[in-house]
Amino acid sequence: MVDDYRRIDRRTFAIGLMAALAACNKSQKSEAAMPGMHTAPRPTLPAPSPVATSFWNAWRTHFLAPEGRVVDTGNGDISHSEGQSYGLLLAYQAGERDTFTRIAEWTEANLARRDMALYGWRWEPAARAMTDTNNATDGDIVIAWALALAGERWNEPRWTERAREVRAAIRKHCVITRYNRQLLIPGLQGFVEDAGVTLNPSYFVWPALDQFAKADGMATWGRVIRDSEDLLRLSRFGRHDLPCDWIRVTGTRSVAPAPDKPPRFGYDAIRVALWGAQGNRTDLTAPVASYWRSCLAQHRPIPAWIDVVSGQEADYALSNGGAAIAGRLLGTAYPTQLSNDYFAASQQMLAQV
């Protein structure tokens, strides 16, 4: 079922955002001017708006169990590294150290692999155990990003160190050299074949990768970032030049929709717009923005997906989560009601990070 939403006053939203940013900048300048200060101030965030606070309270109530397990209500109430990573990032954004701690501790106790500093993808409540030990690289990336942010903000060395370990494991196990490129593969198993390598463009979490490069140096992450950017530029298919959920790389400049998956700009690829907007990659998100604007110019809802080969579009609109990402990218209205679906609600929350 497609979520309905009301439009908010864009001018009011913009004024509130400018005021929050101004307050944050004033606070940072005041701290920098204090005599005797020899270290950079710890990260500070603007106070969340009433809407953001109410969304966070609702998200936490509906999708976070007391022990720190993020529950995927649309997928049999399982938990996975993606959900845990989102929970960590959102708890950090909300400034709730206790909530962050509970999520981090549950994640380490139930999803952390023992052979390397990565996380198994799936935990099932019926088994009370991890049932899929293969990792999801995007979950690992966001976990490492959130841990690094929290370690710095709350001066917690164990989180900073764990973030470093996870980054090193991602670099060692989830980046391969093929076709004269550094390819960020989606997981340890199931994506690399002699005939080609399957990638997911939405796993390129630009703000996290930029943080990795800042922490470890461009010598470690620069090539990975540049090649991932270039591959996304090559992943422009159909008359709208859109990326699709999964691509197959068969040469340095040979990129096509993955042949064993629907060639859709859909539920995965929509995060290309999310991470691109957050990571200031406007050149990479430009085709998506152009397509979405064309839909709005025609006074029709943005479809939930489009087949980049045939041009067929879904006969239903974006969820509230997708609408929030479109709002972030285009500077248009955000939905004002949080979805009751885990994935859509998480997209809504992440669009405001």
Taking the C-alpha atoms of residue 329 and residue 52, their distance in angstroms, rounded to an integer, is 18
Angstrom distances, CA of residue 150 to CA of 79, 91, 139, 140? 22, 9, 16, 15
In three state form, how does the secondary structure of 135-150 look? CCHHHHHHHHHHHHHH
Angstrom distances, CA of residue 249 to CA of 157, 183, 253? 39, 9, 8
CA angle 154, 160, 17 (to 5 degrees): 50
Q: In sequence order, what are the residues at sequence separation of 6 or more whose Cβ sits closer than 8 angstroms to the Cβ of residue 158? A: 151
Catalytic residue numbers, as ranges: 82, 138
Taking the C-alpha atoms of residue 113 and residue 123, their distance in angstroms, rounded to an integer, is 12
In this structure, what token pair is assigned to residue 300? 């029709």
In this structure, what token pair is assigned to residue 252? 């340095």
Taking the C-alpha atoms of residue 107 and residue 331, their distance in angstroms, rounded to an integer, is 34
